[in-house]
Amino acid sequence: MDISVVIPLLNERESLPELAAKLHQVLGGMGKRYEVLFVDDGSRDGSWEEIVRLHQADGRVKGIKLGRNYGKSPALNEGFLAAQGQVVITMDADLQDDPEEIPGLYRMITAEGYDLVSGWKKKRHDPLSKTLPTKLFNATTRWASGVQLHDFNCGLKAYDGKVVKAIEVYGEMHRYIPFIAKKEGFHKIGEKVVQHHARKYGKTKFGLDRFINGFLDLLTITFVFRFGKKPMHFFGAMGTLVFFLGFLATLWVLGSKLFSLLTHVRAPLVTDQPLFYIALTSMIIGAQLFLAGFVAELVARNSSERNNYRVGERLGL
C-alpha cells in the first residue's frame, strides 16, 4: 500500500460523500495504491451509515467506529494502528483541508526524505477569536518544543509510515505530534503552505477551552519526555533545593537567636518570627518532594514499558 489517508471525524455526514469523491479523484490521478480510512469518533448524525455506504461503493474506503466520543487523539491513534500505507496522510473531514495538497505532501516524504510534513494554513478562513489564540499557541509551542512550525494544529499532515507506528497519541496530544515525533528521533520535519477553505457544512467542534487544555498538555508532554523514565531527577532536585533553602533559613534564625543570647541583646522568640515557619514549611515540602521522587522511581522501575525503546535498524541480528 502506497498511501493511507486517515480522517478522524465527528458528525460530518454531509461532508463525507464530497470528500470521498475528491479523494478518489486526486489519489486515483496519482496512480498509487491507496486506502481512505475514516475513523468515526462516536458520531450520532448517521456518519457511520454514510461510511458503510461509501465502503460498499468502493472497497478502498474503510472505516473504524469508536464506541463513543473519545476525542481526536484516540481516533488518530486507532487510524495509525490500522494504516497500511508507506506514507500516511491525515486530514479533517469538514472539507476545510484540500485533497489537492496530497500529491505535494507525498512528494516531500518520498522524494525529499522528510519524516513528517505539516500543513501551514497561511491564509485562514476563521474568525479573529480563533486566529489570535492560535498564533499565541503556535508561538509558545515553537519555543517549548524547538520545532519550527507555523501551524502545529493543522490537521493536514503527511508522515513516513515508520513515524506513525513509532508514536502513541493519547489524551489531546494530537496538537503535538511533531514534538512527539522529534522526541522519538524523527528530526527531519518540514511544512508546506496549504490552502484552507471555509467550513461548508455543520459547525466547528472546538471551543476556546482547547487552547487552555493545549497549554496544559504542552506542560505534560514536556515533563513526560524529560523525566518520564527518571522522575527522581525532577522531584529529587526540586526537593533537595527547597529543603536546603529551608535548612539555611533555619540556621539563620537559630544563629541570630544564639548571637543575641551571647551578646545579651533582647531578641524575639524563635516561634515569633515568620521566617521560622517559612523555613519549617520549606523543609517539610522539600522532604515530601524527595519522597515523591522515590515513589515515582519505584513506579517507573516496575513499569512494563521501562525498557521500551524504539530501535531504528539492526545489523547482523
State whether the Cα torsion 165-167-172-177 is positive or negative: negative
Type of residue numbered 271:
T
The contacts of residue 198 (CB under 8 Å, 6+ apart) are 96, 125
CB of 249 within 8 A of CB of 279? Answer: yes
Q: Where are the alpha helices (DSSP H) in 228-303?
A: 232-262, 274-301
Tens of pLDDT along the chain (317 residues)? 899 999 999 999 999 999 999 999 999 999 999 999 999 999 998 999 999 999 999 999 999 999 898 888 889 999 999 999 999 999 999 888 899 999 999 999 999 999 999 998 877 666 655 666 677 777 877 887 788 888 888 889 999 999 999 888 877 788 888 988 888 889 899 999 988 777 676 666 555 566 676 677 777 777 776 776 778 888 888 899 999 999 999 888 888 888 887 787 777 777 778 888 899 999 999 999 988 888 887 877 776 666 565 655 666 66
Please name the CATH architecture into which domain 3-227 falls: Alpha-Beta Complex (3.90)
The contacts of residue 231 (CB under 8 Å, 6+ apart) are 293, 296, 297, 299, 300
State whether the Cα torsion 158-77-85-47 is positive or negative: negative
φ/ψ of residue 37, rounded to 5: -110, 105
In the structure, how many helices (H) and strands (E) does the chain have? 10, 7
Type of residue numbered 194:
V
Domain extents for the chain?
A: 3-227, 232-301
